[in-house]
Amino acid sequence: MIHMTRYFYRGVNLDLHRRTGGKLKPKAEGEAFKRPVYYGEKAYYGDGSVFGESERNAVIMHQRNSSKFPASGVSTTPIYENAVRYATHDGKHESGYVYKIDSTLLEAHGVTAYFVDQHAVKPQIPEDQEVILVARDFGELPDEIIVEVKEV
């Protein structure tokens, strides 16, 4: 089910915002957005993963644990309140930033949107309605798709 909304949001804490210079950068910058899954490795069969290397596997592994399985994607949500929660880590940080991304600008700037619920059988955090954004060059997302950065 495609459910493209106009805006996606990315919440980051103050430290990450400063470290990246206000840019939305993936954890595995420059690497193709693909991940291999082969028999014998620790994989969760039945979660939607497919044998071999694929974008589908990258989506599934990224949404499961992007620290353990870094990828060239940036997680976003169409739900502003969820992005605020990520920006402050549920109130553990006094402030953070929410980036507002206009989905109508993605294609023109070479960004692909991967809807997690179209790939993962059981998304890790279904209430986020996570959408992973990947730049054409597998690097930082272009500034042109960001229409607002708000301190929260």
Phi, psi of 101 (to 5 degrees): -115, 130
Query: How confident is the model at residue 43, as a pLDDT?
Result: 63
pLDDT of the residue at 114: 97
pLDDT 10s per residue in the chain (152 long)? 445 689 999 999 999 999 999 999 999 999 999 998 887 666 666 788 888 899 999 999 999 888 888 899 999 999 999 999 999 988 788 899 999 999 999 999 999 999 999 999 989 899 999 999 999 999 999 999 999 999 99
∠ Cα 33 36 41 (to 5°): 145
Res 54: pLDDT: 93
The predicted pLDDT at position 91 comes to 79
Distance of CA 111 to the CA centre of its chain: 12
Q: Give the residue extent of every domain in the chain.
A: 7-151
The pLDDT score that the predictor gives to residue 45 is: 65
Structure tokens at 54: 């694929």
Look at residue 84 in the predicted model and tell me its pLDDT.
96
Cα distances (Å, whole numbers) of residue 103 to 8, 22, 50: 7, 19, 28
DSSP labels, 41-81: SS--TTSS--SEEEHHHHHHHHHH-TTTS--S-EEEBS-HH
